[in-house]
Chain A
């Protein structure tokens, strides 16, 4: 048994050429399939024994075309980000942010939120780890707001389904909300509203030994991200696309435009309120966003809805309750919610 000890530690460098070549081939194949996707979907819809009902046909076309399109795009984007993220870790992000002044710190935190791997299940250790290592509270919040809201899934899908203008605007304003909200929370000096045990943790940042990471490992990280994320959200996506297909085929434009159009001033705060208890990955909400925009719903209202669903979620609040007092959670929801509402109004005013 103990004879094995000698061999394993030294075998680190494996050939990375084969996995790299396979990845290039797979991505090329992806593009070929994606290019021909519309023809393929039309052909499938043509084969379906649909009655001559325009509504049903429209809904079916939306569903049959969007499902593989969204799943393919998501796979590519998640794979790419999985590889990029193997260069970042929360530990490294913290080292970059510790001792940073507010202002610059808020900007850096919001930006790093895009690349640092984050899931709400690790929100608590992350929060405590940041605060205890000397990252200012407001800077920590900037990160915590940006990480779930401005992520690769949201940006990639917006880019592909709604266009690069909307994706860029979402990126810019999402980062803006994360910076400003974090800065405001920092200015309020609410450190006393953390749970007591969090204030008592005094741990320095830990120095981790280097782990062996080859190109093959980074590709593997990408594949694992796909298996993990796409495996978890594909059902949400199909539900989202079905909802989008229904809106696309059946809901009359006049109805939505009158409820959620630019004319209705109350629609922005209303969708933000509706979005807070809702929890959906960005992947599930974007097909709905696409369908709503197609029906003439105001862009600002739709983006506000999407931001509210992704940035403020009930499950995350329940998890964060372990480290934040209810008062601080209320401030967090209030500041971020107001920021989103402001962005929604600004957009509706700008793009008319």
Chain B
């Protein structure tokens, strides 16, 4: 079970990113818990500058713009 956090104030891209994570995880058969972090102070604690960001099991893997599906697969499989 992977704990995935999508960091972002709630823009359209953040929604899309969360959807992508779910879709990719389902495709890979990886169990995930997707949580959206929208509070600015909380987002800032992760040390990223641009949103949406993705945190998998406490580790920041992506910041700024939509992730690529193949990168997502790589992170989720790791």
Whether A204 is near chain B, meaning CB under 8 Å from some CB there, is yes
Residues on the A chain within 8 Å of B47, using CB: 129, 132-133, 203-206
Residues on the B chain within 8 Å of A217, using CB: 68
A8: nearest chain-B partner, CB-CB: B73
Residue pair B40, A90 in contact (C-beta under 8 Å) = no
Whether A53 is near chain B, meaning CB under 8 Å from some CB there, is no
CA–CA, A188 to B17, complex, Å? Answer: 40
CA–CA, A130 to B45, complex, Å? Answer: 12
Whether A117 is near chain B, meaning CB under 8 Å from some CB there, is yes
B-contacting residues, A1-53, CB 8 Å: 1-2, 4-5, 8-9, 11-12
Given known contacts A117-B64, A206-B63, A211 and B49 CB-to-CB distance under 8 angstroms: no
For this complex, into which size category does the number of interface residues on chain A fall?
Answer: 35 or more
Residues of A within 8 A of B (CB): 1-2, 4-5, 8-9, 11-12, 89-91, 93-94, 117, 121-122, 124-126, 128-130, 132-133, 197-198, 200-201, 203-206, 208-209, 211-212, 217, 322-323
Residues on the B chain within 8 Å of A322, using CB: 40
Whether B34 is near chain A, meaning CB under 8 Å from some CB there, is no
A-contacting residues, B23-51, CB 8 Å: 27-29, 40-41, 43-51
CA–CA, A129 to B48, complex, Å? Answer: 6
Residue pair B70, A208 in contact (C-beta under 8 Å) = no
Residues on the B chain within 8 Å of A211, using CB: 62, 67-68, 71
Residue pair A90, B64 in contact (C-beta under 8 Å) = yes
Residue pair A4, B27 in contact (C-beta under 8 Å) = yes
Chain B contact residues: helix, strand, loop or mixed? mixed
Q: How far is the CB of A33 from chain B (nearest CB, A)?
A: 30
Residue pair B29, A4 in contact (C-beta under 8 Å) = yes
CA–CA, A11 to B7, complex, Å? Answer: 27
Residue pair A89, B40 in contact (C-beta under 8 Å) = no
Residue pair A117, B41 in contact (C-beta under 8 Å) = no
CA–CA, A169 to B64, complex, Å? Answer: 32
Residue pair A201, B44 in contact (C-beta under 8 Å) = yes
List the 5 closest pairs (A to B, CB-CB), nearest first: A129-B49, A206-B47, A1-B29, A2-B29, A90-B49
Residues on the A chain within 8 Å of B27, using CB: 1, 4
Q: What 1/0 mask marks residues of chain B from 1 to 22 whose CB sits below 8 Å from any chain A CB? A: 0000000010100000000000
Given known contacts A5-B77, A208-B60, A94 and B49 CB-to-CB distance under 8 angstroms: yes
Residue pair A203, B77 in contact (C-beta under 8 Å) = no
